Structure 1
Amino acid sequence: MDSKLTERVKLTQSKLRRRTLSAIFQEFDQKIMKLERGKREEKYLKMSETPFSFFRGSAYLFYFDASRIWFPYHTPEGRPTWVQGDLHFENFGAFRNEQGTLVYDVNDFDEGYLGSYLYDLMRMTVSIALVGRLKGQTHANQVSAVEAYLQAYSKQMRRFAKGKDDPGTYVIDIERAEGPVKKLLKKLQKRKDQHFLEKVTALVQEHRQFATTDEIVSPTDDEREALLQAWPMYLDTVKADDSEELRHFQVKDIAVKHGSGTASIGLDRYYVLIEAGEDAQGEDDIVLEVKEVRVPVPAYFMPYDETFWSMFEHQGQRVTMTQRAMHHEADPYLGWLSIGERQFYVRERSPYKKRLKLEALDTAGDLLSVTTSMGRLTAKMHARADADVAQGILAYHSEIEIVKAMGNDEDAFCTSIANWALSYADQVEQDYALFTEWLGGRKKQSQL
C-alpha cells in the first residue's frame, strides 16, 4: 500500500480510538462518578504513571472492550458467577483472618457483581502481562506467568468440582504458601497487633486519637456529625444491640482518609477509632474503615439481574455480602451505612494488611510462583461464592458450571485466553500512549 495511505489508516485508527477513550472517560468519570475537575486530574495523574496504573484506573474501558468479544468459554447467561469485578495483580494481599491466621487472598470487593467468571480471568491475565512488562520480563516469561495463573485456576477449580478440595476451608497460609508470598507472610508474623493503630494514632493527654498527616486529616464538623448520625444504621447491620456491644463500638475519633487507590479517587473514605476494649492507653482500640461505594462498573456491561438488585439495593450491603461470600472467614466488623444519598461499607482496617510489592518479584520464577497462588485463590473465590447464597441468588454450584464452560481441553483453554491477554496488553499500552497525549492536551488547554 502507498505510504501516505498507510499513514492515513493509522491516523484514522488512532483518532477513532482517542474519541472512544475520551467519550468513556467523560461518561464514567464526569457524568456517572461526578468527579470534580480537581479529582479527575488527580486520578488521571495516577493513571499516567505506567500502563499498569492506567489499566487499574480504567476498568470501564476494559469492560467496554471485553464485553464485545466473543469467547467460547463463558458460562451461560443464566448461570453467572459472583465475580470480584476488578481483579488485578494488586488486589491480592496478606491479612489476618477471623481465626487469627495470616493468609494471602483477594482483598478488594468493591466491584463485586454477577457475571461470567471469565471476566475476572481476562482482567487478571492482562494485569499479569502488564506487570511482567513493568518488571522487564521477556514475552516468553509473560506468557509463562499468564499460563501459570490459568493452569492453576483450572486445576484447582476441577479439584473443587470433584470434591477433592473444599472452597469453604481452602486457604493459602504460611504452611501452604511458596516463594515471595511465603516471605511476605513470615515477615508479617513479626508485626504487632498495634502496628497500624500506632501508625495512624497518637496519645494526647492519655486519650488516643488520629494523628494528622498528609493523608489523614480531621473531618469538618458537618462530616463528623453526619457520620455519627449514620452510625446507628451500621450498628444494626452488625447486630450490636446490648450495652456491652455498644461500648465496644463507641466512637472515639474520626478522620478523613485521602490518597488511597486509583479508581476510587473521588469517593469519600473515613477512619473511625472505636473503643473495642478497656485498656487505659487505648492499645486495644480498633480502626474501622468507612468507604463510599457506588454501582459496580461491571453492572453497566453485564446482563441485568433483577433478583440481585432487589436483594442488594444498598451498595454497601452488596460489597459486604460479596466479601462474606468469597472469603472463608469474613471480617466480623463488616457492615454498611448511608450518609444522605451516599452509601458506604465498613470493615476493620487490619494491622496485618499488606500487599506484595512488585519490587519483591526479582525473577521470572518469583512471578510464576505468585501467579500460581493467585490462580488457585481466584478458583477458591469463585467456587466459594455460592456457599453463602442459598437464599436464592445462585441455586447451583459455580464450580460445576465453570468446569463445564472451560471444557476438557485445558491447554486450549489456557492458550486461548493467554494469547488474548497478551494482545490486549498491547492495546492497553497503545491506549496509555493516547491517554498521556490526551492528558497533555488537556493541561495545555487549561493553561490558555
Structure 2
Amino acid sequence: MTARRIEHLSVADRKARGKDARDNTPLTSHLGWASAADRPDPIALLEAQNATREQDLVPVRHGRMLVSPFTFYRGAAKIMAADLKGTPRAGLISQLCGDAHLSNFGVFASPERQLLFDLNDFDETLPGPFEYDVKRLCASFTIAARNNEFSPADARDVTLSAARAYRESMRDFAQMRVMDIWYAHLSEEELINNFNVARAGEKGKAQRKAADQIEKNTRKGVAKARTRDSLQALSKLAEYVDGNYRIVSQPPIVIPLRELATTFGMNEEETEAALIEQLRSYRDTLQDDRRHLLEQFHVIDVARKVVGVGSVGTRAFIALLEGRDQQDPLFLQVKEATTSVLEDHLPKSRYRQPGERVVQGQRMMQAASDIYLGWTKGVQEGRFLYWRQLRDMKGSAVVETMKPFAMAFYARECGWTLARAHARSGDPVAIGAYLGKTDAFDLGIMDFSERYADQNAEDYEAFAEAVKSGRLEATEGV
C-alpha cells in the first residue's frame, strides 16, 4: 500500500492560502442568495428518500416535519444539500457534520464521565466546504427565532451571534498549537461560566431575573442529563416478565423484535442467529480494550425504536444487554447509515461502508466520542448500521421555549463548537485568514440565512399542501 503524502505548509503559506481564497471568493459573495432556476422539487426529494425507508414509519416522519417550518427544516437536509451545491465556496475543506442545525448539539458524557457540550448527530458527515455547515447552522437559528416569534432585530442578532462566534473562534484556533486544538472542549463548568459572563452584560432587573431563570433551567437540565444512563433506561423502556427483563412494546415508537421478526422475512431461530452474528461483527470494529469490555455483556432483547425527525423511517434499533446481573444493563442504539445527502453533490466518501463513514466522521469532529462507537453491515443486502450507547448522560436544549437572550447565548456556544470541530479536521489558519477580522462574513451568512428561511417557509407550505392533497401521508402527534 502506498503511503499518503502529507503536505506541511508554513503558517505564512497557510495564511496566504486563506487570503487568496478571499480574493477568489469574496466574503460579499455570500450575500444575495437566490434559489436556482432549475431547483429540484423539494417534495420529490423527500419522496426519493422515502423509497428506502420503513414504509409504516414514513407517515410518522411527515407528521413530525409538519409541526412547524422549524421541524420541517430538521428533516430537510437533502433539500438544503441540493441548494448549497451552487453557493460560493472558498475551497477550504473540513470534515462536515452535514446536518449542523441547532438541535444537533447537546451534552453527553466523555469516557472520563465529564459532561461535554458538542455536536451529536453525524448521519450526513462528509468532507466538504466549511461554509456548508455554517450556513446550515445559522439558517437554523433564523428559522428557530422566527418560530419563537422573535422580532426581526432579535432574529438577526441570534443569527449574527452564531456566525460571529464561528469566525472569531476559528481565528482563535488559528493561533493555537495543534494538540491544544485537539484537546479543546466545552465542559459543563465552562458552559456555566460562559453563561455567567454573558449574564453579567445584561442590564435591568427584568433581564437579570430572566438570566437567573435560564441558569436555573440549565443547571436543572444538566442534572437531569447525569441521570440518563442505561439503568434509568431500564426503568423506562423495559419490563420484568417471568424472571427476566424485556423491552416494552410501545408501537409504533418501540416494537420489540419478537413482534417484528416476520417483517424481515426471518423466523425466530434465524433472527437470533442474525443478532449473534451482528454483535460479533460489531465487536470486531472496536478497539481491543473496548471489545473486551463489551464481551462482559450478553444480549437480552432488541427492539425497533423511532428517533428524531429526519432519521424517522431509516432502520433504528435498541439492544438491551446484561452484565454481571439484572441490575447491570447496557442499552446500545443501532442506527441505519445510508449515503450522505452531501454525496449527491460532493466527492463520494472514502469509506465504502456508510456506517464506518459516520463513525470516523464523528471521531474526527467530536472532542470525545462514545467508547462503543462501531459499525456493521446489515443482514439484508444494501443495509448498513452503526452502533453507540443509547443513553450516556445525553441532554439537549429545548429550543422552542428559548427567549432571545438564551438563544443568542446558545448560538455563540454552537458557533464555537462548530469552529472547533472544523479546526480539528481542516486548516484553521487558512480558514481564519479567509474569514478575516471584519464582520463581512457574518453579514453575508446572516443575509443567506434570512433568504434561506424564506425559502424554507415556502417549502414547508408546499409540503403541507402535499399532505393536504394526499400526495404525502402524515401521522401527527407521534
Which among 290, 294, 298 is matched to residue 334 of structure 2?
290
Q: Distance in 1 between matches of 2:299 and 2:472?
A: 46
Which among 146, 149, 167 is matched to residue 159 of structure 2?
146
Which among 256, 267, 271 is matched to residue 218 of structure 1?
256
Q: State the Cα RMSD in Å.
A: 2.8
**SS in structure 1 opposite 2:249?**
coil
Which among 401, 414, 419 is matched to residue 430 of structure 2?
401
**Does the 8 A contact of 1:103 with 1:185 survive in 2?**
no
Structure 2: 5+ residue runs without aligned partners?
1-33, 196-214, 262-267
How much has 1:87 moved relative to structure 2?
0.9
Structure 2 residue 385 is matched with structure 1 residue 364: no
Q: Distance in 2 between matches of 1:243 and 1:104?
A: 26
Structure 2 residue 400 is matched with structure 1 residue 353: no
Which among 197, 204, 207 is matched to residue 241 of structure 2?
204
**Does the 8 A contact of 2:290 with 2:372 survive in 1?**
no
Residue pairs, 1:280-359, within 5 angstroms: 280=325, 282-302=326-346, 304=347, 308-309=349-350, 312-339=351-378, 340-341=380-381, 342-359=383-400
Match of 1:75 in 2: 90
**SS in structure 2 opposite 1:283?**
coil
Q: Distance in 1 between matches of 2:371 and 2:277?
A: 22
Match of 2:108 in 1: 95
Which among 179, 189, 200 is matched to residue 175 of structure 1?
189
Residue pairs, 1:99-118, within 5 angstroms: 99-118=112-131
Residue pairs, 1:264-283, within 5 angstroms: 264-275=311-322, 277-278=323-324, 280=325, 282-283=326-327
**Does the 8 A contact of 2:59 with 2:473 survive in 1?**
no
Q: Distance in 2 between matches of 1:39 and 1:349?
A: 20
CA gap 1:42/1:190 in 2 versus in 1, 3 angstroms: closer
Match of 2:209 in 1: none
Of 202-211 and 109-118, the range deviating more from structure 2: 202-211
Q: Distance in 2 between matches of 1:172 and 1:242?
A: 25
**Does the 8 A contact of 2:171 with 2:433 survive in 1?**
no
**SS in structure 1 opposite 2:245?**
strand
**Does the 8 A contact of 2:230 with 2:329 survive in 1?**
no
How much has 1:241 moved relative to structure 2?
9.0
Percent identical: 26
CA gap 1:190/1:437 in 2 versus in 1, 3 angstroms: closer
Under a length normalisation based on structure 1, what TM-score does the superposition of the two structures give?
Answer: 0.83
**Does the 8 A contact of 1:153 with 1:378 survive in 2?**
yes
Structure 2 residue 27 is matched with structure 1 residue 27: no
Q: Distance in 2 between matches of 1:192 and 1:140?
A: 40
Structure 2 residue 210 is matched with structure 1 residue 163: no
Provide, for residues 298-344 of structure 1, a one-character-per-residue CA deviation record: whole Å limited to 9, x for no partner: 11112x25xx42xx111111111111111222211111111232100
Q: Distance in 2 between matches of 1:191 and 1:41?
A: 29
Residue pairs, 1:253-268, within 5 angstroms: 253-257=301-305, 259-268=306-315
Structure 1: 5+ residue runs without aligned partners?
1-12, 387-396
Structure 2 residue 69 is matched with structure 1 residue 51: yes
How much has 1:140 moved relative to structure 2?
0.6
Provide, for residues 332-386 of structure 1, a one-character-per-residue CA deviation record: whole Å limited to 9, x for no partner: 111111123210000011241122112441x2111111111111111111112x3
Provide, for residues 396-437 of structure 1, a one-character-per-residue CA deviation record: whole Å limited to 9, x for no partner: x5212321332x243011011101101110111111112211
**Does the 8 A contact of 2:106 with 2:118 survive in 1?**
yes
Match of 1:430 in 2: 458
**SS in structure 2 opposite 1:175?**
helix
How much has 1:232 moved relative to structure 2?
1.2
CA gap 1:409/1:245 in 2 versus in 1, 3 angstroms: closer
Paired amino acid for 1:196: A
Provide, for residues 7-64 of structure 1, a one-character-per-residue CA deviation record: whole Å limited to 9, x for no partner: xxxxxx99x999722433343333xxx2465443332222211101111111111111
Paired amino acid for 1:100: R
How much has 1:239 moved relative to structure 2?
4.3
Q: Distance in 1 between matches of 2:77 and 2:276?
A: 33
How much has 1:247 moved relative to structure 2?
3.6
**Does the 8 A contact of 2:228 with 2:394 survive in 1?**
no
Residue pairs, 1:229-268, within 5 angstroms: 229-239=277-287, 245=293, 247-257=295-305, 259-268=306-315
Paired amino acid for 1:299: E
Q: How many residues align?
A: 403
Q: Distance in 1 between matches of 2:54 and 2:329?
A: 35
Q: Distance in 1 between matches of 2:58 and 2:152?
A: 34
**SS in structure 2 opposite 1:166?**
helix
**Does the 8 A contact of 1:238 with 1:334 survive in 2?**
yes
**SS in structure 1 opposite 2:190?**
coil
CA gap 1:313/1:181 in 2 versus in 1, 3 angstroms: farther
Q: Distance in 2 between matches of 1:123 and 1:46?
A: 20
Paired amino acid for 2:76: S
CA gap 1:83/1:109 in 2 versus in 1, 3 angstroms: same
Match of 2:418 in 1: 378
How much has 1:243 moved relative to structure 2?
9.9
Q: Distance in 1 between matches of 2:175 and 2:100?
A: 25
Under a length normalisation based on structure 2, what TM-score does the superposition of the two structures give?
Answer: 0.78
**SS in structure 2 opposite 1:108?**
coil
